[in-house]
Amino acid sequence: MQSFLPDIDSLTLTQQVAQMVTVRTSGYLFDHQIQYPSWEANAATLRYLFEDLGVGGVILLGGSAGEIALRTQQLQDQAKIPLLISADIEEGVGQRFSGATWFPPPMALNAIAQTNLSVACDYAEKMGAVTAQEAVAIGINWVLAPIVDVNNNPDNPVINVRAFGETTEIVSKLATAFIRGAQSYRVLTTAKHFPGHGDTAIDSHLELPVLSHDRARLERVELPPFQAAIQAGVDAVMSAHLQIPALDDRYPATLSPKVLTEELRQRLNFQGLIVTDALVMGAIANRYGVEESAVLAVEAGADVLLMPLDAEKAIHAVCAAVTANRIAPERIRASVERIWRAKLKVCSPSETPSLMSQLAEPSAIATNTEILQASMRVHHPTPSRLDRLPDTGRNLILIDDGIDCDFLGRTAPAIAAPSQFGFTHVEVIDRYTPTLSLDSNLTSSYPTLLQLFIRGNPFRGSAGLTETAQNWFEFLLKSQQLQALIIYGSPYVLEQFLPLLPSEVPYVFSYGQMQLAQEIAIAALFAQKK
């Protein structure tokens, strides 16, 4: 191996196993900024994990892109062996780290592919390239994307609009285009979640889903996108926390030798990194615990253990399994060799990140704008309830969580822009808002622009339409107050509303929720009023 990586045989067993562990930490620079203390290691813990145990990777969440550039350099300086630094940036770096490019969810490209697949593939490739370029610019060398699940279940709360589409062909083509774009830069890409999480209605962050399809169906629908990603040279494949009795009636995929070794490693001939989905998720953690889940995952064939709740316990449990001859030392070495090959590809101490000029470049913003516009749905009826604008209208915004919302603020287009068209009375409602009795005798009557921010919510098992949104929609219809509708996020919510929506009510649907999407959607809704 090159000089910046030690000889594997010079590492102790503990150090070898520790290289197989990726821990979560905050993207913020200081301990007092940590938002999830039970999951995110503080400075003292990280120092121990790096210096005493030799943990091989981190996954980051939170902070601005500028902070991440400093944070990744700080982490690499602390580690004795260069780190694989990862992030869930399926929608671009700006999805997780403010200031960088935040694309709409991948399903937006599926909408474009319905009419022009080649254009959609071109956008997917540009999306992969921008994501990889901006990741490298701030020191992230492992992109945990693309998702290659086929979302053929509208009630799927965990994949949903994160998927590139609902058909095997489109998902395969768009995902491989994303990989192709990212390969222009020194990052690892990841196809997830093997062997396919698209047809589930249970959130694996909370419980263990069971996929009852037979092998013939899996080989026809779920597996081909993974095969395409492997042929395209994807660097890693992430396991799914779900059980598929047709492949293994005992263990979920993450812990199954039949799935990870026999199917993925041997039958599909995948030679890259096999990484678990986060081991803190309820589907695994609630059933197997920290230590046994780590051992079972390694036995199954995983090379990287992502986010065990207690990294030290996980490492010691795997070491104990080796000492007890439950796991062969050669099995550990094989994983570390794969990790070394990955680090040789993307880690280099001679290169420094923080190329901040490469973030949110005009070309990236232009591509993002084109994707948002091309995937948007707009309905301008004649006659329209916006033919006459109100003197004092209500701008009613429904979001899931106003406390932890990074796309709304006083100057956000969804809040500020409608006022110039008469919708000056702003109301924001989220799941913390006390329930209001929606009775026309008790509720103020305003001509209302209803804006819904709804998409799947992992960790809460919500696939889309909330009871609050449904109630407000029905109330505004019944009371004749609904003047216009904008939905940001899930196309499945729009499909639920359309049969009930009067023909004279204009609407806009956008896959994106970020402020650029708001600006474009509101401009489209009021285009005839300028």
Q: Give the pairing type, strands 377-379 and 507-510.
A: antiparallel
CA distance 348 to 332: 24
| Residue tagged active-site, from 88, 248, 277, 303 | 277
> What are the DSSP calls for 157-211, one per residue?
SSSGGGSS-SSHHHHHHHHHHHHHHHTTSS-B-EEEEET--TT-SS-TTTS--B-
Residue 342 amino acid letter: A
Q: What are phi and psi of 254, to 5 degrees?
A: -60, -30
CA distance 345 to 337: 13
Q: Residue 315: left if φ>0, alpha if ψ -120 to 50, beta else—which one?
A: alpha
Q: By C-alpha distance, which of 25, 24, 27 is closest to 66? A: 27
CA distance 141 to 248: 33
CA distance 57 to 23: 6
Report residue 4 as tokens.
């910046």
CA distance 425 to 465: 24
Q: By C-alpha distance, which of 397, 434, 435, 402 is closest to 419? A: 397
Neighbours of 384 (CB within 10 A): 17
Give the CA dihedral 179, 180, 183, 184, nearest 10 degrees. Answer: -140
Please give the biggest Cα pair distance in the chain. Answer: 78
| Residue tagged active-site, from 88, 199, 203, 205 | 205
Neighbours of 132 (CB within 10 A): 27
Q: Give the pairing type, strands 84-87 and 482-489.
A: unpaired
Q: Is 241 a catalytic residue?
A: no
Give 216's contacts (C-beta < 8 A, 6+ positions apart).
Answer: none
Instruction: Answer yes or no: are the C-beta atoms of 56 and 22 closer than 8 Å.
Output: yes
Cα distance from N-terminal residue to C-terminal residue, the chain: 64
Give 173's contacts (C-beta < 8 A, 6+ positions apart).
Answer: 113, 117, 121, 124, 228
CA angle 264, 269, 273 (to 5 degrees): 65
Give 471's contacts (C-beta < 8 A, 6+ positions apart).
Answer: 438
Instruction: Answer yes or no: are the C-beta atoms of 160 and 463 closer than 8 Å.
Output: yes
Q: Is 277 a catalytic residue?
A: yes
CA distance 329 to 391: 75
Q: Hey, which residues are catalytic here?
A: 205, 277
